[in-house]
Amino acid sequence: MGEHIVIIGGNAAGMTAASRARRVNPDLKITVLEASQFISYSICGTPYHLSGLVEDPAQLVTFTPESLLAERGIHARIRTRVEEIQPSRRLVVARELATGTEVEISYDRVVLATGYLPSSPAIEGAGLKGVFTISRLEDAVCLRSEIETRICRRAAVIGGGYIGLMMVHALHALGLQVLLFEKSDHVYRQIDPDMAEIIEEELQKKNISLHLSTAVRKLVGHQGRIQSVEIIGKRAQRELFPVDLAIVDVGVVPNVRLALDSGIPCGISGAIEVDGRGQTNVSGVYAAGNCAETVHRVSGKKMFSTLGTTAARQGRVTGENIAGLRTVFPGTLETSLEKLFHLAIGRTGLTLQQSLEAGFDADSAMISGWSRSGYYPESTPIHLKLIFERRGGRALGAQIIGEDAAAKRIDTLATALTAGLTVEQIAQLDLAYAPPYGTLWDPIQIAAHQAKKKLH
């Protein structure tokens, strides 16, 4: 029997690390410990279960413990919560939640892949029945069950970030009247305000009741169940909005309690400090995914990423290293894509605001192009913002909003950022054209041409 790899957390990073380690070294014994009842599920798919597009939550799950063992030779123990890592003894202490039994499991190398947790909402009333946070498949299952078994007409979403917007979409698809409360001026701060306005227009077109610059003061209950949302309005007045349920998305934090309790240090970002191979500062202990720190490929700064793609890629590299290869994770551009009603929203690299905060002498060009040739039926707008250094013109980030898969163009810009291309080089890219799929000059080139005019 080979060495024993223990992986704590059975989703994007943990499962990818386990699968990759198995592929690289078939002699390893690999055990995945997962506190919840599901492994290897698509957290990105949970809104589609909620909305009913994906009827059975089992569709979102790639492996059961049984199929994982049969197909990949990886042991998974679900409902098993790790309570401590003892690096000096190369041991993890876990509790089997079904029985309450404490078990000790020895390891040669252990990987922390504990992901993130919703920030504890500091909102009064967050503990009422009918109030949800969404960070696990179970959360979506419970929420859907609530909607199916009770009469729900009005739902509040508190926080207009990525998860909040996904929930707005899903609840709207279920026919609920949706109120969205966001304390800052704009939704979705992963993009700049001028791009966020396009999303806000779309929300209003869909009759979402949008409350920007609005702090939720408390959730008001009746007999232990939510009855209304109390806000502090723009003129400091209090207002009550009756609702049947509320989803709170006030951000997420890296799930590092176990690491800290076990003496494994976190970095400046709050996530577990690791090198490019996934090694923590403690011998034999690795970390990967959203609980682990990563580096931003444009700013070079350490950061906490919440993306499943970052988790899976970092997990893959860590899996290779625990299995004996020497590979390095180059970091993230925080490239992301989401579908909100008909709009695809893509972003990569730094926003203009993030660029300025990171100390770049940055500027931006924002244009609107078309998804097809003007004469071709059903052409729709594509909005594109390109951020770049004013001297030299190196691209720093981009944001795209358009219908259909228009925003998958963000990959072209993620590739340009990776290669350090300038707006001049982007303008000269040999991009593809066909009337049903774009315009002779792609919006990417149109934006790059605009950007060139602003160079110093």
Active site residues: 44
Q: Measure the CA–CA gap between 90 and 84, rounded to whole angstroms.
A: 11
- Minimal distance in Å, beta carbon 297 to its own copies? 7
* Pick 147 or 344: Cβ nearer its own copies: 344
Residue 54: count other Cβ atoms within 10 Å of its Cβ.
17
Report the residue count for the chain. 456
List interacting residues with its own copies (CB under 8 A). 12, 42, 44-45, 48, 53-54, 59-60, 297, 308-310, 312-313, 329-339, 344, 346, 348, 373-377, 404-412, 414-416, 418-421, 425, 428-438, 440-442, 444
Q: Measure the CA–CA gap between 344 and 206, rounded to whole angstroms.
A: 15
* Pick 30 or 345: Cβ nearer its own copies: 345
- Minimal distance in Å, beta carbon 329 to its own copies? 8
Q: Measure the CA–CA gap between 415 and 448, rounded to whole angstroms.
A: 15
- Minimal distance in Å, beta carbon 444 to its own copies? 8
Q: Is the dihedral of CA 409, 61, 176, 123 positive or negative?
A: negative
- Minimal distance in Å, beta carbon 375 to its own copies? 4
SS3 percent helix, strand, coil of the chain, rounded to 5, is 30, 30, 40
3-class DSSP state of 338: strand
* Pick 11 or 228: Cβ nearer its own copies: 11
Residue 356 structure tokens = 């300025």
Q: Measure the CA–CA gap between 187 and 238, rounded to whole angstroms.
A: 22
* Pick 154 or 313: Cβ nearer its own copies: 313
- Minimal distance in Å, beta carbon 316 to its own copies? 9
- Minimal distance in Å, beta carbon 240 to its own copies? 36
- Strand extents, DSSP E, 36-138: 75-77, 80-86, 91-96, 101-106, 109-112, 116-118, 131-132
59 and 42 in contact (C-beta within 8 Å)? no
* Pick 60 or 76: Cβ nearer its own copies: 60
Q: Measure the CA–CA gap between 78 and 67, rounded to whole angstroms.
A: 13
* Pick 370 or 376: Cβ nearer its own copies: 376
Going from the C-alpha of 262 to that of each of 66, 79, 279, 282, the distances in angstroms are 30, 20, 15, 10
